[in-house]
Amino acid sequence: MFVSPFKVWGIYNSEYANRGSSYTRKFFIDRGEFKGPIQIMLADTQARHLQGVTGRLLVVPPEDTEFVFQIQLPPWMQVGRTCRSCVMGVAEVTDHDGSRHTVSYSSQEQADQIVCLVAPRLMFVDAEVQTASVQENGSLQVPVRLNRGTLSGKAVIELVVPSHLQGINAESITLPPTETKGALELKFKNVSDINWNMPITVRATLRDGKAIHIAEDYIEIVR
């Protein structure tokens, strides 16, 4: 068993974060004698249920001793709940005999967690079609309406289909900052034998340079 030569730690902080939006937290690294890059990600073992929170891999360069990690809160999180996420640092170290080993470090101490209170979402998207009937080789126009609230910027509207429900697709559309309405054209192909047991998702994504904001609505598919 190889012990990590570095530690990742933080200063306790708790504040509101909007569901559907990204949230960042600053961390520090005690490197010891380790001088290589460190991969930062959400830890394999969490102190609490992640509730759908995700985080992208971040690589900290060898010369850095602090970093900012970003998580994404899903738009369907329960407002008022406390969100706690733990991060993990992973790196390769060289042993005295020249062999290389992968080591990791994570902490579930409260000060080392990303702690936030879930607040209401900032953006809404509505699909004006709530139920759609599939037709082989057919298509359907789905008008969508976007409410940015206090946000500004262009937004991408796309269709997200569960992986086991292939046969339906739509090209994404981009709404300029001044527009709030658009339409997705759903196209159906090879859908006659599919068991439609889940809804499909209309997702809006807006990046304003400070955070990533996501809103979702759902369409039930029937035969």
Q: Whole-angstrom Cα distance, residue 202 to residue 172? A: 10
Mean pLDDT of all residues belonging to the chain: 94
Task: Indicate whether 136 and 115 sit together in one domain.
Answer: no
What mean pLDDT comes out for the span 207-215?
97
Residue 192 in this model has a pLDDT that exceeds 80: no
What's the pLDDT tens digit per position in 63-91? 999 999 999 999 999 999 999 999 999 99
Owning domain of residue 55: 7-119
Residue 223 in this model has a pLDDT that exceeds 80: no
What mean pLDDT comes out for the span 145-158?
98
73 close to 22: Cβ distance less than 8 angstroms: yes
User: How does residue 152 score in pLDDT terms, banded at 50, 70 and 90?
Assistant: very high
Question: What is the count of structural domains for the chain?
Answer: 2
* Residue 1: predicted pLDDT: 58
CATH number at residue 193: 2.60.40.10
Residue 1 inside a domain? The answer is no
| Sign of the Cα pseudo-torsion (157, 158, 159, 162, in order) | negative
Give the residue from 62, 97, 119 where a domain finishes. 119
Task: Indicate whether 99 and 162 sit together in one domain.
Answer: no
CATH number at residue 112: 2.60.40
What mean pLDDT comes out for the span 31-55?
96
Task: Indicate whether 177 and 218 sit together in one domain.
Answer: yes
What mean pLDDT comes out for the span 165-186?
95
